[in-house]
Structure 1
Amino acid sequence: MKRIISLAMVLCLCLCAASAMAADGSLERVKKAGKLVIGLDDAFPPMGYRDDNNKIVGFDVDAAEEVGKRMGVEIVWQPTAWDGVILSLNAKKFDCIWNGMTITEERAKKVAFSKPYIMDGQIATVRMDQKETSFDQLGGKKVGVQKGSPALEAAKELPNAAGEIREYDTNPKAFLDLEAGRLDSVVVDNVTGRFYMAKRPGKFRALPGYITKEAFGIAFRMDDAALRAAVQKHIDDMIADGTMGKISRKWFGEDVTDPSKW
């Protein structure tokens, strides 16, 4: 399970990583090239993945393409192996990593993160017609999780112990049992769960809050402070003018980019 850090620590890590913005030349380099090259794992729905036509799509893709328009540069996607993505960034194979990357203390020693743009983590879902309104009402209930995922540990951290935790090969199989009434809840990664629920409108809802929290950020090289600041400004503007909320509703059925809801 990924190491979880507080939102205050996340913000500190993000804001303290960059310096000498005007002098580093990173923004000018990108503008001169006319493109922002972004590294990603292209098999991570709904953040970034290939559709039936082999086109790279997703929440991060839409958000980055909008930033590219506002910066006046083309977005170029560079699929890469996730286990070496930070090494590839620092080897200058691309300009940043924008792909649902969790901000951790260990990673923040190697890259400079943007502010969090989505608070991810594990949530609990139920059928739309169920009466439960909080995590503590899942005590003694049947809870489904994907085998080998962080959801298993999160399910064990519920305020009141579940009566049974069932492991499934895939999240869709768990949701099928939830819909059929064979489960009382599915604990799942927030972005994955919201994506699945958006595809099945009216069937499921998430209980309020997070069982665990993990913030997503965009990773830049430590020296590229000017580029990081420019991208951050456009994201801040997109949150303020509702663009990020619109993109979020397309992929998740609701706005998960609003920091006041984290």
Structure 2
Amino acid sequence: MLKTTLMAAVAAACMTVIASGAARADLLDDVMKAKKIRIATDMAIPPSGMMDSAMKPTGSDVETAQLLAKDWGLEIEWIQTTGATRIPNVQTNKADIIVSTLSVTPERAKVIDFTKPYAALQSVVGCLKTATVKDWADLKDKTIAVSRGTTQDTELSNMKDRNLKLARFDDDATMVTAAVSGQADCVASSATIVNQIGVKNPGRVFEPKVPIRNFDLAIGVRQGEPKMIEKLNEWIAANLKNGKLNEIYKKFHGSELPPEMRG
């Protein structure tokens, strides 16, 4: 009798596990069924993400996300994010995907999955145009503003031998404000953002001085969603081939995607 009861309990437990596994719906299925996709995008990093004069989202990442939603017949729910909160947003299921200048790095690949690249980012240290900075040695006595949680933050933090002085800001918007207002004479960011500083304040024109490295930008998805990754990769490949992703990038960044990416 006891043996029968134990076997029944084990069988019930197994059924519960199976049922819970079945209940965990696939992300792609959920999105297509809801006809809505939640996309984490930073709206404070022009020209990738920003608000226009009518307070509507715009930028290269915004238009990329909008093209995706249009092609898939979905409504977008924007999930506002910063560099530091992009990955937690998908890990905690606040967002379905990340389209927000997300560089592909080995560290990040341990905690989320990436699609194939849809764009690229030139990572640099930029300073006032008038500053005499040609290499890393010229930066040793300068404070470099950086957005917390970005690849630039990680890269420069790991350069222990260069003794760089970093000033961390919560997001790109506050970092750029620091540069525009005179609180920082050097920043570590994308070349595009560096060039935007002078647009905001013509009296403080910044330019790229020291290259860090180039990064592929990809869409981020929580781990364990192969169907979503596969469908996103198909979409990216098609829109790189037809030139639409290149058109979006050129519209906002003033240059084309790398030739090898365009195919």
Name the SS of the counterpart of 1:62 in structure 2: helix
Q: Following superposition of structure 1 onto structure 2, how do residues 183-262 of structure 1 map, counting pairs within 5 Å?
A: 189-190=189-190, 191-193=192-194, 210-255=211-256, 257-258=257-258, 260=260
Show the counterpart of 2:53: 52
Q: Label 1:70 to 1:250 Cα distance change in 2 as closer, same or farther (>3 A).
A: same
Offset from partner CA, 1:133-176 (integer Å, 9 cap, x none): xx78x99xxx996578959x87xx9xxxxxxxxx9x9769979x
In the TM superposition, structure 1's runs of 4+ consecutive aligned residues that sit over 4 Å from their partners are: 123-127, 143-151, 169-175, 194-200, 203-207
On the 8 A contact 1:112/1:221 being kept in 2, the answer is yes
Show the counterpart of 1:180: none
Q: Label 1:222 to 1:59 Cα distance change in 2 as closer, same or farther (>3 A).
A: same
Name the SS of the counterpart of 2:101 in structure 1: strand
Offset from partner CA, 1:7-26 (integer Å, 9 cap, x none): xxxxxxxxxxxxxxxxx733
* Unmatched runs of 5 consecutive residues or more in structure 2: 1-24, 160-166, 168-173
Q: Please say if 1:35 is aligned against 2:54.
A: no
Q: Which gives a bigger RCO, structure 1 or 2 (Cα 8 Å, sep 6+)? A: 1
| Aligned-pair Cα RMSD in Å | 4.5
Q: Label 1:36 to 1:171 Cα distance change in 2 as closer, same or farther (>3 A).
A: closer
Q: Label 1:27 to 1:105 Cα distance change in 2 as closer, same or farther (>3 A).
A: same
Q: Please say if 1:79 is aligned against 2:80.
A: yes
Residue identity in the other structure for 1:217: A
Offset from partner CA, 1:177-233 (integer Å, 9 cap, x none): 9xxxxx9xx876333135568999xx99879x9442333221101122211221222
Show the counterpart of 1:66: 67
TM-score relative to the length of structure 1: 0.61
Name the SS of the counterpart of 1:38 in structure 2: strand
Counterparts of 1:234 and 1:118, CA distance in 2 = 17
Larger radius of gyration: 2
Show the counterpart of 2:9: none
Residue identity in the other structure for 1:121: S
Q: Following superposition of structure 1 onto structure 2, how do residues 62-211 of structure 1 map, counting pairs within 5 Å?
A: 62-80=63-81, 82-116=83-117, 117-122=119-124, 146=145, 150=152, 189-190=189-190, 191-193=192-194, 210-211=211-212
On the 8 A contact 2:104/2:114 being kept in 1, the answer is yes
Counterparts of 2:179 and 2:84, CA distance in 1 = 28
Name the SS of the counterpart of 1:43 in structure 2: coil
* Unmatched runs of 5 consecutive residues or more in structure 1: 1-23, 128-134, 158-166, 178-182
On the 8 A contact 2:42/2:50 being kept in 1, the answer is yes
- Determine what percentage of the aligned residue pairs are the same residue: 25
Q: Label 1:83 to 1:253 Cα distance change in 2 as closer, same or farther (>3 A).
A: closer
Name the SS of the counterpart of 2:107 in structure 1: helix
Q: Label 1:62 to 1:53 Cα distance change in 2 as closer, same or farther (>3 A).
A: same
On the 8 A contact 1:238/1:244 being kept in 2, the answer is yes
Q: Label 1:223 to 1:170 Cα distance change in 2 as closer, same or farther (>3 A).
A: closer
Residue identity in the other structure for 2:189: D
